Structure 1
Amino acid sequence: MVLRAAPRFVVLGGAGAIGRIVVRDLFESSRKNVVLVADYDERAASKLALTYGSRRVAHASVDARETSRVASLLSGYSVVINCTHHRLNLQVMQAALEARVHYLDLGGLFTWTRRQLRLKPRFAESGLTAILGMGCAPGLTNVMAAHAASQLDRVHSIRIRVGGIDFNASDGDFTFPYSAETIIEELTLPAWKWSRGRFVQRPPRSGWESIDFGSPVGRMWVVTTRHSEIATLPLRLQDKGLRYADFKVGFDRLFVREVMKRLRAGWKVRDFQALPAPRSAPNDYEVTRVIVRGDRHEILMDCLTGSNNKWHASAGDIDTACPASIVAQMIAAGRIRKPGVWAPEDLVPADLLFQECRKREMEFVYRRAGDAMNSPPRRTCE
């Protein structure tokens, strides 16, 4: 497929929490980039586009469930970055096929990712590339794990841990660090892990573990949740002997109890979504960690991200949106060319991704087993 000289991107769900940061990163990355903010909420999309005061940013109103309408909207663009809910992923992929546009999303919460992979022959036949789950987790986590695994002859286990701290939070606060709908799914759906060479289901809210993420996050509780990394990393690394893989994310245990209490009392997702959002500027810090163990060595790799006041973006907004923007630009520039449907670890060049993330003030720390956890960090892939 021949791409246009001026890269043209559609950010579907572009007025949302993550979509708006994808738009910002695309706009600031290159003066050639053209961006369409496509969202169900026309007023929000228009308001966001107008803040740029540039012909390079336009807006459109679209319902992602209307495949033919989305396909018509995508026609003539280079890449669609799908920032909508994962239940719409298959429909947006179908629209991308009809419009002959490359595709990227933020994840399919394991189940949808596995369904999406079945479209690989259709994308390959059309000469199109689709990359599934290219945010932070999944996304960066996949690439970090594969990068660490590439330095080992054998890989026995991969453990992914994500933790953070909100410096604005106070005791008794009840706010969601990211999508309330996604968090509720993570806390109520059975989780998946890879154990002894097969996928195994675990009860929701199981596997609590105390992890020290270092300063300033410190020690916090993490819990097993359903995540897309586990749908693809074992398939990529099974030949290296991978026997175990899981994903755990940090939650305050009182927060989890309160969510479950309200759900049992009859609260719906829309009730949680109606809770007032914090008005203060984001001020937080997130650690995204992969631990890869082989025969003789264990490699620990962290991605360290802080909030961005200029963009009014939390750490989680930055480390999710920026990798999506970076990889979409790789596709548009022809740096990623392989047709089909792929996970990030299959195609994304780790060195280039880490380099671009550093430009967004994201830091990568690499340690081998035996290094002191508080020793000076060694940057990866300089």
Structure 2
Amino acid sequence: MTERRWKVVVIGAGGAQAQAMLAGAARGTDVSGWLAVDLRWRPEALAATQALGISTIEEDPLADPGKLRELTASAEIVANFAGPYYRTGTLVLDAAIDTRTHYLDICDDADATLPMLDPVRTAAAEEAGVTALVGMGSSPGTTNILIRAAVDHLGPVENVDISWTVDVDDVANAALRHFWHCFNLVDPDGTTHPVSTWEDLEQRTVDFPGTVGRQVVVRLAHPEPLTIPRFLPVKSCGNFGAVTPYESMVTAWGLAHAVDPQRTEVSEATLDAAVAVFSHYRDTRPATARLGSGLQIDVHTGGNGLRFASGAPTPMEDATGIPAAAGLLMLQEGKVRDVGVIAPEVLSPADFFTTLRRVSTGGGGLGLYRLENGKTGERLRIRDLIRLDTATES
């Protein structure tokens, strides 16, 4: 690739996940050649970004295709943090492919992931020599790479079951719109379903470790069930999630069901009003202990295999932004070997977790266990599974 003005251009850089990503990237590399773009900078986000030595501009490149193409053409890599991805994902990705610019996002919308992985779009990226890494956050992102590590160890498996929770205090308005969107289940062929009645929601109870504890989770649309069987020898993958505490989940579902565009015609003003109702609930409800985020991933055949589990008060922006920083450094340093549009499970687990240590503040609390007849068994060492010593040297 010919030399570009910017090593990385970040679109939507003022958001919480992007801010966590930029801070993480600065811990792991020199970011003085990066450009951060946002539609309207919050003063504190602008100051924090500039303090890292990153150049900043305020504009909306998504409103002008010519401006967007000019921006992607100026970069070696473009990182798209401007959601919702069912509106912005293919727009920025196509501009990146057209200008032969590598691409990364944290897309967690299932119905956006499918068109991004469309064979025609993937072939165009391959022809352009572009690596486009979609969904490189926490879930999807870290989840996919953990599953890859487990499958590398176990061999082909029948099932992957993913369960996660987020704390209601982490559900900002943009995240709420995405979470509502997850109630619209998406089939592998792209068919999108209306929000189910409460009685028809597929529910299960999961015991998360740490601060999270026992929670009810429901089947939700997410990219992993669509990408994991595509890229790995896994027959099926399910995704279950929740907002905690439980009353927050019920409140979110009720509003999503009431204003579901798949079920009834609603105006943008009605959607905005529903968001305002949930925001008022979130911001005025009686204070409770923070539960944080929970994750459980079972990789198995007939209930036997491996289980990853964590539960900690880690903010959602860090859980999402820091893995994205690792993905960007891997792209920048030539540690992503595939071209085309790819999902995170294509990455080398050893290379990813080696890079993640450079950008992380430490901690995390993720445990690895044997899964025996669907129950947690002997604790194992993640370092033995991933074998960090096999990572590519920088």
The answer to whether TM tops 0.5 is: yes
Q: Scaled by the length of structure 2, what TM-score is found?
A: 0.79
Match among 285, 293, 317 for residue 286 of structure 1? 293
Q: Secondary structure at the match of 1:248?
A: strand
Cα distance in 1, alignment partners of residues 77 and 250 from structure 2 = 41
Cα distance change of structure 1 residues 290 and 203 upon mapping to structure 2, 3 Å threshold = same
Deviation by residue 1:180-200 (Cα, 9 ceiling, x = unmatched): 11011123x134489xxx999
More helix by share: 2
Q: Which residue in 2 is equivalent to 1:311?
A: none
TM-score, normalisation: structure 1: 0.81
Q: Map of 1:215-254 to 2, 5 A cutoff?
A: 215-237=210-232, 240=233, 242-251=234-243, 252-254=245-247
CA contact (8 A) 1:40 1:64 kept: no
Structure 1 residue 378 corresponds to structure 2 residue 381: yes
SS at match of 2:156: coil
Aligned amino acid, residue 212 of structure 1: D
For the Cα contact (< 8 Å) 1:164–1:217, is it kept in 2?
no
Matches within 5 A, 1:145-294: 145-165=147-167, 176=172, 179-187=175-183, 189-192=184-187, 204=196, 206-237=201-232, 240=233, 242-251=234-243, 252-262=245-255, 264=258, 268-274=270-276, 275=279, 285-294=292-301
Contact 1:209/1:223 (<8 A) preserved: yes
Question: Hey, what does 1:49 align to over in structure 2?
Answer: 46
Alpha-carbon deviation of 1:151?
1.4
CA pair 105-303 structure 1, distance change in 2 beyond 3 A? farther
Unaligned runs of 5+ in 1: 308-313
Shift in Å at residue 14 of structure 1?
A: 0.8
Distance 1:32 1:38 in 2: 14
Structure 2 unaligned segments of length 5 or more: list them. Answer: 260-265, 389-394
Give the conservation status (yes or no) of the 8 Å contact 2:212–2:312. Answer: no
Instruction: Name the CA distance, whole Å, in 1 between partners of 2:12 and 2:365.
Output: 28
State the identity %.
Answer: 19
Equivalent residue for 1:129, pick from 128, 131, 135: 131
| CA gap 1:30/1:9 in 2 versus in 1, 3 angstroms | same
1:215, distance to aligned residue in structure 2 (A): 2.2
> What does 1:71-86 correspond to in 2, within 5 Å?
71-85=69-83, 86=85
Deviations 1:168-226 (A, max 9, x none): x7xxxx96597111011123x134489xxx99979646211110012221100111111
- Paired position in structure 2 for 1:310: none
Q: How does 1:110-121 map to 2 (within 5 A)?
A: 110-118=110-118, 119-121=121-123
Matches of 1:325 and 1:349 in 2, distance apart?
A: 15
How far is the alpha carbon of 1:75 from its aligned partner? 2.5
CA distance, structure 2, for counterparts of residue 93 and residue 162 of structure 1: 28
* Secondary structure of the structure 2 residue equivalent to 1:18: helix
User: In the aligned structure 2, how far is the partner of 1:354 from the partner of 1:71?
Assistant: 33
Decide whether the 8 Å contact of 1:37 with 1:58 is kept in 2. Answer: yes
CA drift of 1:319 comes to: 1.4
The whole-number CA distance in structure 1 between the counterparts of 2:274 and 2:22 is 26
State whether residues 111 and 192 of structure 2, in contact with CA within 8 Å, keep that contact through their aligned partners in structure 1.
no
Given that 1:7 and 1:32 are in contact with CA atoms closer than 8 Å, whether structure 2 keeps it comes out as no
Q: Distance in 1 between matches of 2:211 and 2:377?
A: 12
SS of the residue aligned with 2:299? strand
Does the Cα contact within 8 Å between 1:89 and 1:108 map onto a contact in 2? Answer: no
Structure 1 47/61 Cα, relative in aligned 2: closer, same or farther at 3 Å?
farther
C-alpha separation in 2, matches of 1:217 and 1:101: 40
* Superposed displacement of residue 74, structure 1: 2.4
Instruction: Tell me, yes or no, if the aligned pair for 1:297 and 1:369 is still in contact at 8 Å.
Output: yes
Which residue number corresponds to residue 10 of structure 1? 9
Q: Deviations over 1:213-256 (max 9, x none)?
A: 1222110011111101111111223xx4x333110112344223
